[in-house]
Amino acid sequence: MYLQSCSGGLFAGETLHLQLHAGPHTQVHVSTGAATVAHSMLEQPARQTVTLIAETGALLEYLPMATILFPQARLHSVVNVTLHPNARVMLCDAFCLHVPPGSAGLPGFYRADLHIRCPAGTLLAGDR
């Protein structure tokens, strides 16, 4: 499945949430048709949360294209994974920087949190 967005990227103050749930013994591949642009955010940061749930025996692939951070972008990205027994999740959470011609500066901040938990809520792995 390919996710499409007509918004043109992430903008100041936005809060986006995506939840994908793979049922028992299912297989799903989810990607995006293009990279996501995190625009300059002078007013306030944006937040993007992705929740992935893989039931017993499921294979859930979440492989979006990279997030492109523009100068003064301020983004907090969170990926929460619930992994049931014998389930598999393959995911990618990548970013890159882009300074358009005539612009200057770096992103304000980029924070990426990854939490992988069992169904009981015990943390199996995490990254920040």
pLDDT tens string 24-81: 999 999 999 899 999 999 999 999 999 999 999 999 999 999 999 999 999 999 999 9
Mean pLDDT (the chain, rounded): 94
- Check residue 104 and give its pLDDT: 80
Helices (H) and strands (E) in the chain, counts: 0, 12
**What's the per-residue H, E or C state across 40-74?**
CCCCCCEEEEEEEEECCCCEEEECCCCEEECCCCE
Q: Work out the percent of the chain whose per-residue pLDDT is above 90.
A: 84
Cα–Cα dist 26/39, whole Å = 36
Please compute the mean of the pLDDT values over residues 98-111 and round it to a whole number.
89
The structure's pTM equals 0.92
Tell me, what's the pLDDT at 105? 85
Domain layout of the chain by residue ranges: 2-127
Decide if pLDDT at 6 tops 80. Answer: no
pLDDT at residue 3 in the model = 86
For residue 95, pLDDT over 80 is answered with yes
pLDDT of residue 16: 94
Structure tokens at 40: 């300059």
